[in-house]
Amino acid sequence: MDQALASLITSAAGTGAPTLTSSRYYGSATCPYTLPNGTQVMYLARRILPQAGIYQAVQTYVVVDGDRLDNLAAKFLGDPLLYWMICDANNSTDLDALTAQVGRSILIPMSSSIPPGARYG
């Protein structure tokens, strides 16, 4: 990466990792990878899906036709970007699969605090 660009990213966003606190990658480590041509590329460290049991479920919700996980996160958690917490609480990596089956019950976690380990496994 061009040094000037790397400096800009680091000065504006710390490590280059997401700075939005609602991101599941907030605070994640960044790692360097060197391409065969010598160019260094930064990437986010892998996020391991946490055990669903670390989330305290406050209710279950029965999926209805037309539901989207971002809308459910906005309604129940107060922020559509927290859809990932519903995925984690239901041990799912596919947000569309959680709302694909009408009548399916999904857990809605408590959003007041993100449990330790939920962000980076």
Q: Say yes or no to pLDDT of 62 above 90.
A: yes
More confident residue, 68 or 95: 68
Could you give the C-alpha distances from 11 to 4, 7, 8, 91, 99, in angstroms and in order? 11, 6, 5, 36, 40
- pLDDT score at 120: 45
* pLDDT confidence tier of residue 36, bands split at 50, 70 and 90: very high
* pLDDT confidence tier of residue 43, bands split at 50, 70 and 90: confident
Q: What is the sign, positive or negative, of the torsion defined by CA atoms of 85, 86, 87, 90?
A: positive
Q: What is the mean pLDDT of residues 81-95?
A: 86
φ/ψ of residue 41, rounded to 5: -120, 135
Domain ranges of the chain: 3-44, 52-109
pTM comes to 0.63
CATH of region 52-109? 3.10.350.10
Structure tokens, 31: 């790692």
Q: What is the mean pLDDT of residues 25-34?
A: 78
More confident residue, 106 or 58: 106
* Residue 97 one-letter amino acid: A
What is the per-residue pLDDT across 7-17, written as a single tens digit (0 to 9) for each?
A: 655 554 555 55
